[in-house]
Amino acid sequence: MHLQALDLAVVAIYVVCLLTLAQWVSREKRGHQKDTKDYFLAGRSLPWWAIGASLIAANISAEQIIGMSGSAYVLGIAIASYEWMSALTLIIVGKYLLPVFLKHQIYTMPQFLEQRYDSRVRTVMATFWLGVYVFVNLTSILWLGALAINTVTGLDITYALCLLGAFSAAYSLYGGLKAVALTDIIQVVLLTLGGLMIAYVSLNQISGGEGVMPGFALLLDRIPEKFDMIFTKDSPHYTHLPGISVLIGGMWVMNLSYWGFNQYIIQRALAAKDNREAQKGIVFAAFLKMLVPVLVVLPGLAAVMLAPDLPAPDSAYPEVMKLLPAGIKGLVFAALIAAIVSSLASMTNSISTIFTMDVYAKLAGSEKSERHLVSVGRIVSFSALVIAMIVARPLLGNFDQAFQYIQEFTGFFTPGIVAIFLLAIFWRATTANGALGAAVGSAVLSLGFKLFWPSLPFIDRVGLAFLLCVGLGMLISKLEAAGEQPGAIKYEEVDCSTSAGFNYASVVIVLMLVAIYAIWW
């Protein structure tokens, strides 16, 4: 499949518009020098629509579009649980967790851990996140994005990797988070339009030109096994999504880690001017999350009928793209690029924030100027992209379902992350040693379960390891008998109130989730 002249024109218009807008929003008032608050937190002035759009644009990337479509090709609609349960997770984060972080006026999540525990916890977690962001998240976004470009255009994967990295750097390196967040509304609009287009065309193709609803009805009739939301133990896919654990087990730990304690995501909300603005952005993102399966899961389901003999599941989305007419194909391809580069830009900005504020600034001391720290941030962003481009093929080239690889790998560490943050917020007696014990215990316990209990589904492993990490953190803290810690969070002093609009929206999302699981239980 190759793009025609009209498709290339659509892509070119998108690239020019994005670069122009990014430069425009990145400009500063005459005489004002961009400081770390401007570069890393957009001056703490992001409006709710930018927060919500940027949360989704950062989240939806090649790993969602390509990887989740590939998993839908194999597992069916059940993989959408990651998206739909995330909507409810966002509501919980906006209500109970985000106000704590905003009250502390932090730049990074490791900084919060130092305020609550000590510098050792900050250093350990900053080092961990830098490694994961560069060698897991950034590489997966680049690799799956390059794979999609290769499938659609025939361009060599190496060249595709370089082009994606260069484009991401060109529009985000100078402006920082402000450039990323304020352009993400365009990215989300393009993502939505492109996703709806490919869903429409694929379902219309299945129905033989009779329309979307007949096409969807045929999917339900011909491949009913792909519409099981909850797998039973006799299902071959039970190990990926183990039954009721999707609703009440380890998936909650995965989602809380990603949406609540992940610098890459929460940085947008930290850039809000106040609680209310951040919460409006959160609930906007939650509604968009309910739509995401239509954009990224449905094409994978359609590919089961349209291309039943794919060599690799991750080829499902690019294969369905071949059905699109000229112009529309260019729009969908531009949407795919938008998803990739917005996530790349968000990830590199978070990497530079953690390295600059949690590592470099502490080592360099207070004598370094704001201008110098911003320059370091830009250098780190560029360096991270280069490293990820170099290691992407060796790390991910042999995986058929990259989305499952990412979930499996991060599942070794998320139990400890969630444990130390929840203990930090809700149990005043948790010590720094208790937090470190939970962090180290997460990897050790998860590896032990993987080696000695291989039949245990990884989501169940995550849930069990989380409970043990909480217990380990509490046990170590109790043995120290240190009592309430100096940095303990006085949660009763945190303003967790929400507006009526937030509350009504939360009820609507819960009702939507109940309806979905009731229909496809």
Query: Structural domains in the chain?
Result: 5-28+35-225+252-404 (1.20.1730.10), 411-493 (no CATH)
Check residue 192 and give its pLDDT: 87
Q: Position 399: which residue type?
A: F
Check residue 126 and give its pLDDT: 92
> What DSSP designation does 350 have?
H
Among candidates 35, 18, 11, 9, which has minimal Cα distance to 377?
35
What DSSP assignment string belongs to 411-458?
A: TTTHHHHHHHHHHHHH-TT--HHHHHHHHHHHHHHHHHHHHH-TTS-H
Highest mean pLDDT among 64-68, 389-393, 448-452: 448-452
Q: What is the Cα–Cα distance from 490 to 496, expressed in whole angstroms?
A: 12
> What DSSP designation does 272 have?
B
Window from 30-34, 53-57, 385-389, 454-458 with minimum mean pLDDT: 30-34
Check residue 70 and give its pLDDT: 85
Q: Exposed e or buried b for every residue in 472-487, given b needs 16+ CB within 10 A?
A: bbbebbeeeeeeebeb
Highest mean pLDDT among 89-93, 207-211, 401-405: 89-93
Q: What is the pTM of this model?
A: 0.90
Cβ burial of 250 (10 Å; 0-12, 13-18, 19+) is buried
Of residues 15 and 109, the one with the higher pLDDT is 109
Residues 6+ apart with CB under 8 A from 232: 238, 243
Residue 282, pLDDT above cutoff 90: yes
Check residue 437 and give its pLDDT: 95
Q: What is the per-residue pLDDT across 316-374, written as a single tens digit (0 to 9) for each? A: 888 888 888 888 888 888 888 888 888 888 889 899 999 998 988 888 766 777 788 88
Check residue 403 and give its pLDDT: 56
Q: What is the per-residue pLDDT across 470-500, written as a single tens digit (0 to 9) for each? A: 999 999 999 998 788 888 999 999 999 999 9
| Secondary structure (3-state) at 481 | coil
First to last CA, the chain: 38
> What DSSP designation does 46 have?
B
pLDDT bin (cut points 50, 70, 90) of residue 311 is confident
Among candidates 400, 449, 271, which has minimal Cα distance to 346?
271
Residue 152, pLDDT above cutoff 90: no
Check residue 397 and give its pLDDT: 66
Window from 265-274, 306-315, 505-514 with minimum mean pLDDT: 306-315
Among candidates 183, 165, 167, which has minimal Cα distance to 21?
183
Angle between helices 139-153 and 157-172 (to 10 degrees): 120
Percent of the chain with pLDDT strictly greater than 70: 95
> What DSSP designation does 400 have?
S
Check residue 110 and give its pLDDT: 93
| Secondary structure (3-state) at 505 | helix
Angle between helices 328-354 and 119-132 (to 10 degrees): 150
Residue 452, pLDDT above cutoff 80: yes
Check residue 37 and give its pLDDT: 83
Arithmetic mean of pLDDT over the chain: 87
